[in-house]
Amino acid sequence: MCGIVGYLGPRETVGVLMDGLRRLEYRGYDSAGIAVFHGGKIEVRRARGKLRVLEEAIAGESLEGKVGIGHTRWATHGRPSDDNAHPHKAGSIAVVHNGIIENYLSLKKVLTESGHVFASETDTEVIAHLVDHFLREDFPFEEAVRRALGKIKGSYALAVLCEKEPEKLIGARNESPLVVGLGEGELLIASDTPAVLNYTRDFIFLEDGEMAVLSDGKAEVLDLEGKRIPREPKRVKWNPLMAEKGGYKHFMLKEIMEQPRAITDTIRGRISEDRSEIIFEGLDSDGKMVKAINRIALVACGTSYHAALVGRYLIESLCRIPVEADIGSEFRYRNPLVDEKTLLVTISQSGETADTLAALREARKRGARTLGICNVVESSLSRESDYTIFTYAGPEIGVASTKAFSTQLVILYLLSLFLGKRTGYISHTQMDEFIGELVRLPHLLEEVVRGHKEIERIGRKYVHAENFLYLGRGINYPIALEGALKLKEISYIHAEGYPAGEMKHGPIALIDREMPVVVLATKDDTYEKVMNNIEEVHAREGRIIALASQGDKEIASKVEDVIFIPPTVSLLTPVLLTIPLQLLAYYMADFKGNDVDQPRNLAKSVTVE
């Protein structure tokens, strides 16, 4: 995720900006930049790579000024490069931006036609040009920003500077956080409080659709109509480490809780306005690729492999194309049946997993077309694939994958709809229905996240269990595997995921009072069968924790604990089921006092085979 810092005050501005950017460093980024009002104009310095590269670039320069903005970038639109790094400048405007501008292509087209020349591949640059456009129409800076925001669709946290009004710094927010820090005779802006916690503890937290105008030693908040909104600052009590984690005890918990946002970002800009199309710009643009393939191979490792298993189910259901799902390390050594009629889809959070990359290289050698699903722009996977779809989860710091997994599921759902439309298997009405449910998903996830206290209670109850069984059927079976993996890797409790129908072929022998069994029992085609499995476990005194659909009264009498999730189409249920299982694993690991973010023996990215 990108980071923003802005400063207006008497200190040495570059120092404050660089200090703020350094404090955001733990989240990872691919480029950084600053803009400072110096010698009557805005000077911009940007560099791809670590902050050190930028530091070296500006070392020895005396960029003095009283106002400036800085940014660390986590690329979404446009690869990491000096040109794509923020701040972006247009005329007398400089902008830093977090978020995604959905309508940037149409805005860019109109601006280009009216003579604006673009220097980057980013969506952000349209904001700078739009504000500049209104300035040229003689609107004052504040009004120009307000008018520009009226044209933009999407999410943003912004900080804007203008050469014509050098004593002013403007910020704005929509679906991406931005705070205003009120220091002693100085004002700050930041996407995250830790960036500026050294200078103040008094903050105004902007709401969606609000702007902040910082000048003359004060910060005013206004809405997009220009109406002033009185806003009292709040005093933040977090220490810097707590602040990095957004007030959560661990990054993993923060990352679980931010899934509604991560999924909103992942969906954003990928659905046409009339809801009839999925947009993956440039993918199969000539229509030849989908026509040419006769099978799809999904390859990944660990949690990403569980996403691949869900993907197999989704693609086969929505497109009727034969799909195989394979573990990276297995695929490569089994002389796979792959040729130029195969679409190889690799899935990886990091894009650096050695086994997944080896599978990709093997498939390329055999002539397959390759598509990557990845969270890191410019990773090896994205560079080596014919096409990459990015999950906009933002940096995932906890070793246990959480938001990367749920966003992978969402991409696989979108990809299935994309392919289903092209193969003609999905009707217009179905498309509308599936997209409608997808759009509701972030709200449903918020509901699930709000139920975390009950999951914490259940976690406390079972923390001393030594073994766990997770059961699911159909599209929810991979979620049973994922629930078990999450529990294993952070709580060190032995857990197995199983297809519920396989229970009587062996694992049922394990069931007794000591064996908690997590059963995924949402209302879908497999519900009756899953209820039979619940009876089987119940008869052998197994302790059942069920994940069930809201309103299911029957199940409560048969199981010891129930976690309810809101109903949706069965193809999206895996996303909703995932969050309670992540939380269950998290709370149990935390009760055991484990190092949740860095579990023993595990690395975030497995770059060796």
CB of 299 to ligand M6R, least distance (A): 10
Q: CB nearest ligand M6R: which residue?
A: 302
Residue in the block written with tokens 């710009």 = 281
Closest approach of ligand M6R to the CB of residue 397, in Å: 12
Tokens of 599: 């579990």
CB-wise, 348 or 385, nearer to ligand M6R?
Answer: 348
Binding of ligand M6R by 243 (CB under 6 A):
no
Cα 182 to Cα 190: distance, rounded to the nearest angstrom? 11
Residue 247 is classified by DSSP as T
- CB neighbours of 333 closer than 8 A, spacing ≥ 6? none
Distance CA 188, CA 6 (A): 5
Minimum CB–partner distance for residue 389 and ligand M6R (Å): 14
User: Structure tokens of 559?
Assistant: 């199981």
Choices 182-190, 394-402, 412-420, 441-449; region in contact with ligand M6R by CB under 6 A: 394-402
The answer to whether 350 contacts ligand M6R (rule: CB under 6 A) is yes
Instruction: Give strand ranges (E) for 270-411.
Output: 295-300, 323-327, 342-348, 369-374, 387-390
Minimum CB distance to ligand M6R smaller for 169 or for 310: 310
Q: Judge whether 2 counts as a catalytic residue.
A: yes
Query: Could you say which of 81, 122, 124, 303 contacts ligand M6R (CB under 6 A)?
Result: 303
Number of chain residues interacting with ligand M6R (CB under 6 A)? 16
CA distances 81 to 30, 318, 404, 436, Å, are: 8, 38, 24, 36
The binder of ligand M6R chosen from 356, 370, 476, 533 (CB under 6 A): 356
Nearest to 6 by CA among 236, 187, 132, 222: 187
Q: Does residue 337 belong to the site contacting ligand M6R (CB under 6 A)?
A: no
For residue 94, what are its two tokens?
Answer: 């400089």
- Based on the shown chain and the rule CB under 6 A, indicate whether residue 319 belongs to the binding site for ligand M6R: no
- The radius of gyration of the chain from alpha carbons, rounded to an integer in Å, stands at 25
Q: Please give the distance of CA 348 from its chain centroid, rounded to a whole number.
A: 13
Residue with tokens 């800076």: 141
| Known catalytic residue at 41 | no
Catalytic residue among 2, 301, 319, 374: 2
Q: Work out whether 400 is an interface residue with ligand M6R (CB under 6 A).
A: yes
| Least distance in angstroms from the C-beta of 381 to ligand M6R | 8
Each residue 99-128 as x (binds ligand M6R by CB under 6 A) or -, in order, gives ------------------------------
Binding of residue 401 to ligand M6R (CB under 6 A): yes
List 31, 266, 304, 573, residue binding ligand M6R (CB under 6 A): 304
State CA 384 to chain mean position distance. Answer: 22
Strands 41-48 and 210-215: unpaired
Nearest-approach distance from CB 605 to ligand M6R, in angstroms: 6
434 Cβ contact list (under 8 Å, min separation 6): 318, 413, 417, 426, 569, 571
Contact flag: residue 605 with ligand M6R (CB under 6 A): yes
Within 448-507, the residues that bind ligand M6R by CB under 6 A are 489
Footprint on this chain of ligand M6R (rule: CB under 6 A): 301-304, 348-350, 353, 356, 399-401, 489, 602, 605-606
